[in-house]
Structure 1
Amino acid sequence: MQSQDVAPRPSAGSATDPVVDVEQAEAALVEHYPRLVRLAYLVLPPELGRKRRVLTAHALAQRALPRGRTSTPLIPAQAKGREGDPGYAFVRLRVVRAALRAGVPLSLRALPKRAQLPPLLPQVWGLRLFPRSGGADELALDQRLSGLSAPARAAYVLRGLEKLTDDAVYELLAAAGVDDVDEALEEADAVPARYALLASPEFDACSLQARPTDLMRRRQHLKAALVAGAALVVCGALLGLPGEGWAPDGAAAPPYAQNPAAQAALDPSRLAKAAPAAWESAARLDFSVWPARGELTGDQALLRRALAVWARPGEKVRVSATPGTPSGGPAGPPQLLYAGTVDNARVVILYDGLRIARYAEPKDGTAGAAVDFARVDGATGAEASAVVLGRADGNVRYLMAPWVKKAAERDLLKPGSGAMALTLTDGATSPLASPAAQQSGCTSWNVLQVTGEAGTSLLSDLAELVPARLTAGRPGSAKDAAGAAGLRTWAPYACSLSAARAQGVRAVNAWQFARQPLPDASGSADWVCTRAETWRGGGTQVLAQFRTPGGPQGAVAAQGQDVPACGPRDPHVLAGVLWKAQDESWYLLAAGSRDTASIEASGGVTASGPGPLLTARAEQGARAGLTGTLTDGREISGLK
């Protein structure tokens, strides 16, 4: 449960702060290790490259332990969950100081600092490690941060990731040795405050992808070390292997296996292609009955490059995958869904029964190629109706299923406005504005409205290959949100979909579970629960949102991660919020689903009452725990 008013953060520490010993620091390091590594990774200079940034970030975090008992004359303010922990503040300061030193160029006039040198440990031989790639928003933020100085980058990250005030950031950077902190803060102000993106997998240096280094070169070097003369023979033999060398595979890495099954999966002549009318007689409408479309379906060289890059992406290929989606090569020949030109790129879309893979390369070469993966197992009907063809200038194009008769663009924030028809050319839509490209604010949320065999559905772009299906209604009986009632339900809560970007979301349901009269007689507030289900099953996000009469948008009052609440397995929910009336009085408002027999509050507010609604006097900033009892006697706890 959260208050809608944010209390001021505690002030920075002073010289009387407690002593930090190695045990305290070690406990903080172990508990918050992923956060500290992410912090170091974001502050380190991008010029190091992704692999060296990852290894250096781990090295800096692991070297942050003190050698013994250490006093802490300055401990900047702590974010929620770490407040009052001098061990964490001390370790964080050492990590930031080392990351800033790592960005200082080497000079002949001074001995190098330890942080300026490549880390001795950890080391990984034979593999390239790098975080999972995010979406267009994360890439844009990474580029903006790379243009900042190291102190400004640190200021931005401490504001966004650590939730520190400018005063606390000032004290921390000053303690880390930054000469002009004011200049760093001003420089950081130039980057839009898109702090939520800092929690993206794009910047998680503890959740990594692994790719082999140049295996052929390693083999050559090994044999050259054994017998110099034999190395020449081996190099000549390798260059003379069949398969036309490296050039036909474009941006793919050199081949490192001659497994017959793997080779068959990479043969463009073996690609599966559904008949144009296969979907009309199919028992199941899914991606397997999509015909191959696009003007380049016969371009064998392009298809060969797409398959080769899928199986072994080169070092400069940008690879991204939704959470829980494997990015390895196909087990057998996949199915071709599309091959054609989209804007300024050649695009190939493939399907292997579990994943959609999208390969894209520039029209004038293969430099800058990218391959994206999305998990789509079990997708049918509306969930298998659209795949992203391309993104450009804040717009998105889709490839539609063959059973889609009409496609249109609709602003979810304006339920009364009509839908604008989109043209369909060989299954491809005309461009529509993508909410995933919004840089700041939320003045509109455009969704894709599709009409097909099973009716009309709404799909929202969440910066992934496959848009998420939007539904509305009580869990277990929810329906597509394209109807008038569904549009009205979603309108005040559309902007909350931004919290589900790049999370591998399959569908999002909105359910108004309660309506509560306000204690100052100013009307009734709505309680709505939104639940984002993912393709992988885990990672489910639940938001309980509260909206007062006439409010344009709902406010998140409570949330849960990987909880059954508000879902088909457990169609119950309980949440609360601190609310200030017009006469400046504060109240605890709590609501549960209609089968809630009673609600009890404890902690900062002690109250109870029968039924699914509870209203109680409270103090500003009070925190309370909620417990509900259902009509069948089962207890449920409130979302936090």
Structure 2
Amino acid sequence: MRRMEREHYGRLLRLAYLTLDDGDHPLSRARRAVAGAMRVRRGGYPAMRARLVAILLTDPPTGRHRLHGLLFEPARIGPGPVRAALLESPRHERLAYLLRRDGLTAPEVVAELSVHLPVGFGDVDRIIDAVDGRTDMDEAAQRAEIEAFEPDLVRLRPPLAVPSARRAAVAGVVAVALLAVAGAVSIRMDDGRGAPAVVGPHAWRASGAPTVDEWPSQGGLLHDARLLRRAADAWRDDHRDPPLGRVAVLYAGTVDGASLVVLRDSPGPRDTPSVAQYFERRRSRGVESVRKLGTDAGQLVMVGMTWRYLVPPWLRDVRVAVPSGRAPDWRPVAVRDGLSAPLPWHWFTPRCQNYLVFQMTAGSWTVTQLASNDPRSAAPRVWFRDPPEQGERSRWAALNAVACSGAATLSESGDLRLGRLWSGELPDGGGRATLLTVDASTPWGAPGRSLLISEDGQALSERGGTNSDHTPSGETAAAAVWWRSSRRWHLLAAAGPGVARLKSVGELGSHEDAADRRSGSPLLVVPGPRAGAAARLPVVQVVAYEPDGDRTVVTPR
């Protein structure tokens, strides 16, 4: 077993290092990523590799200490042809290439990455072809170079080639740096020591829009001052994700025989808080997860692997459904003292990005959130641009498309805003469909995505482009996708009522829209090449014109 674990560690470390090859201290960062991946105990190497991919794409590890990079480096002379070629590619393309050379097929690579990135079969083939062309090596030779690379072999850096008269000065600088590091550590360890803050039960009522800062401390163990102090000190001692600012208690109670304390920090107005979960069980205690919230608004927090969630008191009438169903099967969720009852364990299977759909009421508003079964993942809040009279069926189809059909990568998205630009019949007897737009709050200013979905939320196209990084509202939104019928490709573009007309330019020639009879909004459908007849889709752009003369360009992806 230990020999097998060493083999897994070596393969995972090689994959992580080659992905992180161009940054500071890639070996230290790769080791930390692999250590997180190898905590997966079931599923063997494929499960560890999947966890490593998630870490590399969603939570890039930082180096533990700069002195490691100062004293050590990988034992190598220079990059071989494959490593040199990979250094010319962005990290996600390196990862796709390495997964392909690790034995996965192109569809398997897409399945591994599409949870986190918009990637298709053609992207994988293009990445492989690019490395083949740069190296002029066949697959066997590329594999041989990769497998011969052992980043975990290290050697001391050679001594600095400086005159003896300067060595004393260099030694003095290093000594001062070491003392500064030691002093910083001691100050950090002493800073903020003491019992965590306890927020009163009525603090949230004083705010019209309460946030995590007003989330009251709840639970049956709030009186245990020693437990709260141990939990806060354990988080402060965490070298990877220590708290920023004052630490406060969200929940302290007994769950499944374990003492649990959930804490949050106070990083200030320029950052969002982090939440840490501290458990004390028989023969074990410590912080078991730390994650940064997508926003400071109240959101559900998964409690370990207990199938329960923390719920802020201003969210009431909680109900939940699995997004993979054709229609929502809402189940009420009992909440007591801020902690939900456990959900059915068989819901927590790898599907729909491991997210469930929750709906709650906050005053007169209905709040929708997508919460994960992983305490380290965010719970994005979902907003709908469509008015409520559009119907629950269309909204459920949009949620299904987001969670299960890749319309958004939830672990990176933050809050989501969903809109429907067009619904109608597709040409060539393609049936009824909806053009959905998805705007994410993270990263800020990123362009939105669009997807053509069926009435039950199934994806009918790959992700398309929108103008949402330029448009201030849904009325002036525009989107375009490529859709393939049984006979040919079609360019389909639609826009909100604030757009006067749409025009496509490029290799298909110039085409202008005719307003959709039902909605009155612009709709443009342009026939493209016959299915299977073209090795690539034509280069096309769609221009959205507003009545005042402003215009934006949308490129279908």
Scaled by the length of structure 1, what TM-score is found?
0.56
Q: Deviations over 1:125-164 (max 9, x none)?
A: xxxxxxxxxxxxxxxxxxxxxxxxxxxxxxxxxxxxxxxx
Aligned residue-pair number: 431
Residues 471, 479 of structure 1: 8 Å contact kept: no
Change in Cα spacing, 1:258 to 1:472, as seen in structure 2 (3 Å) is same
Q: Deviations over 1:573-610 (max 9, x none)?
A: 321214123xxx2132321213251321423x445233
Q: Deviations over 1:561-581 (max 9, x none)?
A: 996167748942321214123
Q: Deviations over 1:276-334 (max 9, x none)?
A: 122233343122222211222233333233222322315xxxx5xxxxxxx44332x32
Residue from 575, 584, 588 that aligns with 2:480 = 575
Change in Cα spacing, 1:457 to 1:264, as seen in structure 2 (3 Å) is same
RMSD of equivalent CA atoms:
4.9
Residue from 314, 317, 337 that aligns with 2:250 = 337
Residue from 519, 527, 544 that aligns with 2:450 = 544
Partner of 2:265: 352
Q: Distance in 2 between matches of 1:530 and 1:590?
A: 17
In the TM superposition, residue 429 of structure 1 has moved relative to its aligned partner by 0.4
Q: Distance in 2 between matches of 1:95 and 1:567?
A: 48
Partner of 1:487: 396
**Residue 405 of structure 2: SS of its match in structure 1?**
helix
Partner of 1:10: none
Partner of 1:401: 312
1:256-271 aligned within 5 A: 257=185, 259=187, 263=190, 265-268=192-195, 271=196
Partner of 1:455: 365
- 1:64 and 2:100 are equivalent in the alignment: no
Q: Deviations over 1:322-374 (max 9, x none)?
A: xxxxx44332x322111223336433222334413213234124456424031
Residues 397, 429 of structure 1: 8 Å contact kept: yes
Q: Distance in 1 between matches of 2:22 and 2:429?
A: 49
Partner of 2:555: 638
- 1:303 and 2:228 are equivalent in the alignment: yes
Change in Cα spacing, 1:599 to 1:88, as seen in structure 2 (3 Å) is farther
Residue from 384, 390, 394 that aligns with 1:472 = 384
**Residue 486 of structure 1: SS of its match in structure 2?**
helix
Q: Distance in 1 between matches of 2:467 and 2:528?
A: 32
Q: Deviations over 1:205-240 (max 9, x none)?
A: xxxxxxxxxxxxx99xx99xxxxxxxxxxxxxxxxx
Residues 317, 361 of structure 2: 8 Å contact kept: yes
**Residue 266 of structure 1: SS of its match in structure 2?**
coil
1:266 aligned partner, one-letter code = R
Residues 189, 237 of structure 2: 8 Å contact kept: no
In the TM superposition, residue 267 of structure 1 has moved relative to its aligned partner by 0.4
**Residue 414 of structure 2: SS of its match in structure 1?**
strand
Partner of 1:613: 524
Q: Distance in 1 between matches of 2:415 and 2:488?
A: 36
Residue from 128, 147, 154 that aligns with 1:100 = 147
Residues 350, 357 of structure 1: 8 Å contact kept: yes
Residue from 137, 153, 171 that aligns with 1:117 = 153
In the TM superposition, residue 518 of structure 1 has moved relative to its aligned partner by 2.7
**Residue 313 of structure 2: SS of its match in structure 1?**
coil
Scaled by the length of structure 2, what TM-score is found?
0.63
Change in Cα spacing, 1:524 to 1:404, as seen in structure 2 (3 Å) is closer
Change in Cα spacing, 1:560 to 1:89, as seen in structure 2 (3 Å) is farther
2:235 aligned partner, one-letter code = W
1:456 aligned partner, one-letter code = T
Q: Distance in 1 between matches of 2:22 and 2:320?
A: 44
Q: Distance in 2 between matches of 1:546 and 1:579?
A: 11
Residue from 525, 531, 542 that aligns with 2:433 = 525
In the TM superposition, residue 421 of structure 1 has moved relative to its aligned partner by 1.1
1:472 aligned partner, one-letter code = F
Change in Cα spacing, 1:283 to 1:600, as seen in structure 2 (3 Å) is closer
Change in Cα spacing, 1:31 to 1:626, as seen in structure 2 (3 Å) is farther
- 1:587 and 2:497 are equivalent in the alignment: no
Q: Distance in 2 between matches of 1:528 and 1:122?
A: 58
Partner of 1:515: 423
2:315 aligned partner, one-letter code = V
In the TM superposition, residue 424 of structure 1 has moved relative to its aligned partner by 1.3
Partner of 1:83: 129
Residue from 423, 446, 450 that aligns with 2:334 = 423
1:586 aligned partner, one-letter code = R
1:470 aligned partner, one-letter code = V
Q: Deviations over 1:487-526 (max 9, x none)?
A: 35434544136852432x3312221112354332454432
**Residue 306 of structure 1: SS of its match in structure 2?**
helix
In the TM superposition, residue 483 of structure 1 has moved relative to its aligned partner by 5.1
Partner of 2:13: none
1:284-303 aligned within 5 A: 284-303=209-228
Q: Distance in 1 between matches of 2:467 and 2:154?
A: 39
Change in Cα spacing, 1:576 to 1:263, as seen in structure 2 (3 Å) is same
Change in Cα spacing, 1:513 to 1:344, as seen in structure 2 (3 Å) is farther
Higher relative contact order (CA 8 A, sep 6+): 1
Residues 565, 571 of structure 1: 8 Å contact kept: no
Change in Cα spacing, 1:415 to 1:426, as seen in structure 2 (3 Å) is farther
Q: Distance in 1 between matches of 2:142 and 2:392?
A: 53
1:608 aligned partner, one-letter code = H
Partner of 2:293: 375
**Residue 432 of structure 1: SS of its match in structure 2?**
coil
Residues 564, 570 of structure 1: 8 Å contact kept: no
1:526 aligned partner, one-letter code = T
1:432 aligned partner, one-letter code = L
Residues 360, 370 of structure 1: 8 Å contact kept: yes
Q: Distance in 2 between matches of 1:390 and 1:566?
A: 40
Partner of 1:242: none
2:79 aligned partner, one-letter code = A
Q: Distance in 1 between matches of 2:37 and 2:323?
A: 43
Residues 545, 555 of structure 1: 8 Å contact kept: yes
- Report % sequence identity: 17
**Residue 421 of structure 2: SS of its match in structure 1?**
strand
In the TM superposition, residue 398 of structure 1 has moved relative to its aligned partner by 1.1
In the TM superposition, residue 453 of structure 1 has moved relative to its aligned partner by 2.0
Partner of 1:361: 279
Q: Distance in 1 between matches of 2:380 and 2:37?
A: 36
Larger displacement relative to structure 2 (446-455 or 426-435): 426-435
